[in-house]
Structure 1
């Protein structure tokens, strides 16, 4: 429990809530219990309903809160508050992972990717989708594969291209970026190189750079490649690897209203897939003397890390199932899911520290374990924080009673319908 309260100290949760205006003057709402109810309620619930989060809160805090009192606190300000907590957690949580020795020379191995979250169609104006009569949000993550944590996150509508959410800059120095085709852009690669960063990307199908030199000599009657367009020679090659230097042309960013053309030289590597009788092609600025073609193909497999992360969010935390038409509630649930993931990974770090060195904890198996114990953890955390929730029977009565007096339950409807017949 001390690990969790060190990650999110109660005083910090309270002070920041007051600073943003999440807490009102009456102080009835206990912010630490409120936050932890969202974290563990999201992890434990079979369905992530607002009523479920309220029940988690009522089972933890000193005083229960009514449905109306709970729902009125689900505001855009709360969404902003939870996002700030996610940003705080990103700076604190890192689960060390054994990175291959070939890439330990980099400060970090980073993976950029995005996933689409399908939303209620009533949100189509706020979250425009690619198809009519749909709504979709895009979650963009910058995943640190070295430390197994999320470095940056952004949300946008589904139509926003992944590429526009990635910003270059000095932060790239000595970091290796792994890109899928959504981020393929020569100017982006040039800026990474000029910021002393590194990249590996799949080569787009329509990319056809000019080969300026071969980085490996072939014996015998090998087909010369220098001076030819890459796509013009691929079908004629039968070698296991392609390793060439290429020149690409691209437009620089606008300056004084104009865009100038520029060229840059990169490396293209091909690894033959015998089953498909084709090449997996990659573009990079990594030097051949340090990374052979097979090394690059192996490094690129690290991209699977972010796919597993999205799969964990969607399968374990049901991140793609938002049954609400309120924009700010969508954001609240999104940040609650990310907080659950961060807390889960922080506890995984603790478990890894305490366990024998030879033990391995697959992340998805750990996620399922964390979910199954979330209610127990929340109960112990409440006791650790000094909360004394109402007796269990009182909470059962509070949660199970009919809320809407004007809405008849089935028995009342049947009684009202059959009573005139009986009297007749």
Structure 2
């Protein structure tokens, strides 16, 4: 049974109830006394207008979407004034509310079912106006905002986000603690740190990370026996011997030395045993090396390699934001508008996933997976229509297209003359001289 329009409307209004939006807007002082702008429709215009407007996205474009959906005329200055730090805070609050509410049914490999969740932490950078000094970049004469997130692969949701400047190292944003229990974390080399791995293990979590080229732990035991005249590895450092090996897999235990966190002003040295697995890459005549705490009895070396490939899911998410929703660069020189745009993009992603979940739930047969970028293109095409559906829920009448088009065509600033108008005025002045 396919979901009805009523089901989609009900889903979205339950995801962000009117009372929730209005209460948070009041707390953040987004709502002004005159209430000329409906903050509920403003939020939905940002979320759905972000998807619909693409690279032509602008505050003027959002205003037109709002006016068309609500059948109300709004002064450009009044609408622009709503784009404030307080509005960014409101969107942040709504994102925090939503990230744990949305999950998409997902075909999970049997190996993943052994974990509470499979998580990927990563970050991406958006280039900004070069004079926007609040978002410092790693290069001179540039600015850059970094979006850090923790992506739950198991249920296709985003559970944590941060927006910082480009110079902040993404690995410093990853927090350890009891929430790690039972979860598997897949890291690229940017998050490589023995102390982090030790804390995940001590909190009963699991991890797989690529082994950094400059990390050279000592091998303490071989976890797999080899027949014949195999090169002995115990007591040697992994990168010192890996080039001499030709076996299909490497599976060893290593001892890593690291510094614990500060305590009473000092940081003590400690060691911990981890597992290093190598999977031979015949094309490059070398190994993909992984460090992990997954037990040998349950995970073969080839399974470790396949598990790690799931980390690509977060790269696909970033590609969806940048290609389908065109969150690539910003022309504005105002930091709060940058935050509003990024938060609107993330809320768009949440809403898109929520609708996809509804469609999957109502499908006549089990859904093994939906290509995310194809779904994003479909959602973008329907976003403005969904906004009009929500306006009807809030009792706004259908749009008066003739009135809207007339207003937009005729109510232009006098300074914005057309080329023909400028020529005509110049000629008229010449003829009367």
TM range (shorter): over 0.9
For structure 1, list consecutive stretches of 5 or more residues without a partner in the other structure: none
Count of paired positions: 423
Residue of structure 2 in register with 1:324 after alignment: 332
Structure 1 residue corresponding to 2:351, chosen from 312, 332, 343: 343
* More moved, 59-68 vs 191-200: 59-68
2:156 counterpart of 1:164 = no
Give the Cα–Cα distance (whole angstroms) in 1 for the partners of residues 233 and 415 of structure 2: 80
Q: 1:373 aligns with which of 382, 387, 394?
A: 382
| Equivalent position to 2:79, from 57, 70, 93 | 70
Q: 2:260 aligns with which of 252, 260, 267?
A: 252
| Residue in 1 that maps onto 2:190 | 182
Quick check: 1:411 aligned with 2:420? yes
Q: 1:415 deviation in Å?
A: 2.8
1:215 positional shift: 0.3
Indicate if the aligned counterparts of 1:216 and 1:243 stay in contact, CA closer than 8 A.
Answer: yes
Q: 4+ residue runs of structure 1 moved beyond 6 angstroms?
A: none
Q: Quote how far apart the aligned CAs of 1:62 are.
A: 4.8
Superposition RMSD in Å? 1.4
Q: Distance in 2 between matches of 1:385 and 1:103?
A: 42
Shift of 1:33: 1.1
Secondary structure of 2:331's aligned partner: coil
Asked if the contact 1:175/1:197 (under 8 Å) is kept, the reply is yes
Of 196, 208, 221, 2:204 maps to 196
CA distance in 2, matches of 1:204, 1:75: 43
Q: How does 1:217-296 map to 2 (within 5 A)?
A: 217-296=225-304
Shift of 1:331: 0.6
Q: Which has the larger displacement, 388-397 or 239-248?
A: 388-397
The reply to whether residue 16 of structure 1 matches residue 24 of structure 2 is yes
1:30, 1:224 → 2: CA distance?
A: 72
Q: CA deviation at 1:358?
A: 5.1
- Report the secondary structure of 2:70's partner residue: coil
- CA contact 2:105–2:360 (8 Å) conserved in 1: no
Distance 1:246 1:390 in 2: 67
What is the aligned partner in structure 1 of residue 6 from structure 2? none
5 Å-filtered alignment, 1:130-149, equals 130-149=138-157
Offset from partner CA, 1:113-167 (integer Å, 9 cap, x none): 00001111121x1001111111100000100001100010001111111111111
Report if the CA contact (8 A) 1:64-1:390 is conserved.
Answer: no
State the match for 1:115 in structure 2. 124
- TM-score normalised by L of structure 1: 0.97
Shift of 1:363: 1.1
Quote how far apart the aligned CAs of 1:389 are: 5.2
- The superposition leaves residues 45-70 of structure 1 with CA deviations (integer Å, 9 ceiling, x where unpaired) of 13211111111111122522111110
Query: Partners of 2:310 and 2:117 in 1: how far apart?
Result: 12
Q: Return 5+ residue gaps in structure 2 as ranges.
A: 1-8
Q: 1:384 aligns with which of 372, 388, 393?
A: 393
